[in-house]
Amino acid sequence: MNEDIEESWVELRRFSSQNEAQQHALVLVAAGINCQISKIGDSVGLRVAAQDRVYAQSELIAYTRDNRPSSLPTLPQRPAREAIAGTLFYCCVLLLVHGAASRQMFSLDWILAGKAAAGLIVEGEWWRTVTALTLHGDYGHLFSNLVAGAFLGFVLSQILGGGLAWLLILLSGALGNSLNAVIQPAAHTSIGASTAVFGALGILAVIMSRYRATHWKAGLRRWAPLGAGIMLLAFLGIQGERIDVLGHIAGFVAGCLLGAGTVAFGTVAMKQPRKTQFIFAAAALALLIGTWMIALDSGSS
């Protein structure tokens, strides 16, 4: 009788320590599987009833998979002070352009000269994809983009560095406006930094899905930022009478594309020197100034 009982138990795994065997035994007990721990020379064996062997093995495999150390690279984080300058500059640009447009500085209609008019963009007035990002209809519109853009830009700046982060945000907004112009009818017009804000959200979502913070583990949780980005797009970007739904979606998609490119080239993990970040920042500033010079010159002629 005792011999039959002994033969009904099979060894599932062996471990080098008692603690490791007990940890795996707890996994089985939690799954409702009876098990035994026995000392076998210098190792410790874990046994289960023969009829539970397959089920127990699958539980241990799942446990090992879920607790395997992540192979994802660690997400870098730069000092907060490096992100402040670019964030403040972003706010200043939006405030200055809004003030100039409200007062029609140089006796020009800045809205007319810089808005993202789909038909004109498709016909070749590409600069509108950039200038439209700095224009806003009212203070409510301006304030919402100031807050959201500053927050996302600050976070991205801590990951990529201020110069590169804001250049990518600007490019994502311009690319988003370009995509939107192709999709929308020729008469469609839009203004606002929200396309770039959702571009920043797309960049951040992709980067966070491919990298991990030091306290994260592998598994589905690493896709949480991408899911959160899509949820924010759904809840914040597609409601309201004056919301440019396709513009926000286009900005998010453009941001995802640029984020994927940034990850593919290993730029996230690359520690660029301060000089390189200044070059990126100068490129973003030159793009802003250059496009507005073209827009105002075209508007005055």
pLDDT tens for each residue of 90-145: 999 999 999 999 999 988 999 999 999 999 999 999 999 999 999 998 888 899 89
Residue 213 and residue 172 share a domain: yes
Residue 162 and residue 59 share a domain: no
Q: Is residue 71 part of a domain?
A: no
Is-contact 227 202, C-beta < 8 A? no
Residue 119 and residue 34 share a domain: no
Cα–Cα distance for residue pair 207/226, rounded to 1 Å: 9
Tell me the residue range of the domain where 29 lies: 2-66
pLDDT at 140: 86
Residue 139 and residue 14 share a domain: no
Cα dihedral across residues 228, 198, 140, 282: positive or negative: positive
pLDDT at 80: 80
State the total domains in the chain: 2
β-pairing verdict for 35-40 and 43-49: antiparallel
State the burial class of residue 138 (Cβ atoms within 10 Å of its Cβ: 0-12, 13-18, 19+).
exposed
Cα–Cα distance for residue pair 284/282, rounded to 1 Å: 5
Closest CA to 201 of 160, 149, 158, 143: 149
For the domain that residue 20 is a member of, what is the CATH number? Answer: 3.30.70.1530
Q: Is residue 74 part of a domain?
A: no
Q: Is residue 76 part of a domain?
A: no
pLDDT at 217: 44
